[in-house]
Amino acid sequence: MEPDSEQYYGDVGGVNKGSSDRAKELSEHIVHQSSIKNPRWQEHAKLLYDMQHDDMVAEICGTPVKLNKYQFDKYLHNQPQNFFPAPLLKNVHKVEPIKDLREFNIMIGFENQARELYKVQNYWNITYTLMEFRSYLFHGDFEKRAYFKITHILVYGGCTEYGHVDLSGLFSTNNTLELLKKEKNPSVESLFELFVPEYVTSLESPSYEVIPTGWLESLDDDPVSLQATVCRDEKEPRKEIYTKEEFIRWYQKFLEMWHVKKDGDKDWIRVQMIHAKDDTLTARITMSVQVGINETAPVHDWDFRIVLRYNDHGDEKWYITKLDVLCPPTIDNYRDLSLMHIGDIVTANFISYAERLPMPVKWYQTLDFLKPFTHQNSILADICDQKGIKNLTEIYSKVMNGEFKNMDTPKGEDIPKDNLYILYYVDNVRFDEGKELAYFKLFTAYFNLFTWDFKIRWDDKDRFYYVEKVELACPKKIYTYYWFHPVHYGGKENWLRFGRH
């Protein structure tokens, strides 16, 4: 139901007083949790969470994905960081009975102001349903009281932080629309081209499925001017400010973990304007991307909220001075999700390197595949009988000096020479809570069997699992038809996978 022309919602009239009181309580929690500047915002968010049924469903700002109770709570904790406290007006709610006073529709409307000083209208439609009657001891007698829970929430309005932005829900609309309506607006055009370059919009281009990186050059170099934050799974505000170098490193690791879904939605990257002035643009960029290498994995929407300012340094250029990466509420735990996929991603990188090398592939020729997974190029390694190696450079030096003799003399049974194939197998990732380390194994075979044992550690700043140590056992010759059955097509080498998918 759309709000009327009065100040949001008028008097509740003669509707059941209990529901009116609860609607008032709901409106207070919703308004007070909408800004982290309110010292008790988390308390109000918790109370609002407790009022929801476990099977509650939320629909947010026109997005097709329906959120459950837990996901909606994550959404709420992602929203209030950009807003000042909203005033609690008297008439911000309205109640309508739906089913014989057993179900009510509670409509709540309010406005709040962003740090960039534009104002956003927010509307909530809440379905409040009777669950049961409970008995309470009151002045020595038991009374039955109605027990209600929130079963459905619909959120709409300006929607600047998530979903489809509605400029009619922003009080800065006139100025913004006029700037956007310019026949040729170079500032807006440059913003769209920055994130959606021409080669990306061409559906026939093979580069279509590349997440853009060129926009990183527009980050302000001045550490005082740039304020960049990256979301956390924890229900805490984004307090840690990233420098340009730190954010670029985070984004590079983001690119290792995420990709555009093959044959997926062609509209996978979207730029939505929020606010515009002659020297300032505020926009939200949404990337619909897929984690890992499994093409059946779900697609998640990552939102990048940016503010660009013009000519701050007197060079007549646009710079990104503020950037917030907002957590997708559809991801329950990003660290767990990363752990689930990191073994496959490391393996895919190994295969990508090995496939480009001339046959036969030597074990040391593939080591560059580890570089994206090392923290500032440091990695510990035990290779065959050589222990305590501290970086890749030391490995290459030992190769040149012929110190890996046992790597060239594998033991075991020769494989038949007429079968030419490469096989790999990834063991399940396991986590050791005591050491804060995770482990997984990679088995690769090309004439000889190599076992790679990886120890990985989570970096909270980069939001990424780095390989802390790799142990490469001395090679063994393959026992044909025992560990696997050889497969080959047309005499060409083929990478085949066995085990977990």
443 pLDDT tier (thresholds 50, 70, 90): confident
Beta bridge partners of 114: 83
Mean per-residue pLDDT, 125-132: 89
- Going by pLDDT thresholds of 50, 70 and 90, the confidence category of residue 148 is confident
- The pLDDT of 1-5, averaged and rounded, is 38
**336-499 has the same fold as 173-331:** yes
Using CA atoms of 32, 35, 36, 41 in order, give the dihedral in degrees to the nearest 10. 20
Residue 362: the pLDDT is 79
Q: Which of 92-101, 300-309, 379-388, 455-464 has the lowest mean pLDDT?
A: 92-101
* Per-residue pLDDT tens over the stretch 24-60: 899 999 999 999 999 899 999 999 999 999 999 999 9
More confident residue, 278 or 371: 371
Topology given in CATH for the domain delimited by 336-499:
Nuclear Transport Factor 2; Chain: A, (3.10.450)
- Indicate whether 483 pLDDT > 50: no
Q: How confident is the model at residue 287 (pLDDT cuts 50, 70, 90)?
A: very high
CA angle 56, 4, 159 (to 5 degrees): 50
Q: Where are the beta strands (DSSP E) in 87-234?
A: 93-97, 103-113, 119-138, 141-157, 227-230
Highest mean pLDDT among 2-16, 181-195, 274-288: 274-288
Instruction: Choose the weakest-confidence range: 356-370, 395-409, 487-501.
Output: 487-501
pLDDT of residue 392: 84
Task: Decide if 290 contacts 241 (C-beta within 8 A).
Answer: no
Higher local confidence (pLDDT), 318 or 171: 318
Whole-prediction pTM: 0.84
pLDDT at residue 470 in the model: 92
Q: pLDDT (tens digit, 9 = 90+) per residue, 374-419?
A: 987 789 999 988 888 888 888 888 888 877 777 765 555 444 444 4
Among candidate residues 166, 84, 175, the one with its CA nearest the CA of residue 121: 166
pLDDT per residue as tens digits for the range 181-219 = 554 555 566 666 767 654 444 334 444 578 888 888 889
Domain definitions of the chain by residue range: 17-167, 173-331, 336-499
Query: Of the given ranges (134-143, 312-321, 434-443), which has the lowest mean pLDDT?
Result: 134-143
- Pairwise CA distance, residues 291 & 332, whole Å: 14
Yes or no: say if 18 and 6 are a contact pair by the CB < 8 Å rule: no
Residue with tokens 């001045």: 222
Nearest to 217 by CA among 195, 241, 189: 195
State the fold for domain 173-331.
Answer: Nuclear Transport Factor 2; Chain: A, (3.10.450)
The answer to whether residue 17 scores a pLDDT higher than 80 is no
Residue 327: how many CA atoms within 13 Å on its side-chain side? 28
Please say if the pLDDT value at position 253 is more than 60.
yes
Which residue, 77, 125, 313, is CA-closest to 218? 313
- Higher pLDDT among residues 266 and 157, named by residue: 157
- Asked if 131 contacts 147 with a C-beta cutoff of 8 angstroms, the reply is yes
For residues 463 and 496, the model is more confident at 463
Cβ neighbours of 105 (radius 10 Å): 17
Q: What is the mean pLDDT of the chain?
A: 79
The CATH architecture annotation of domain 17-167 reads Roll (3.10)
Alpha-carbon distance of 205 to 411, in angstroms, equals 49
User: What span, in angstroms and rounded, lies between the C-alpha atoms of 167 and 169?
Assistant: 5
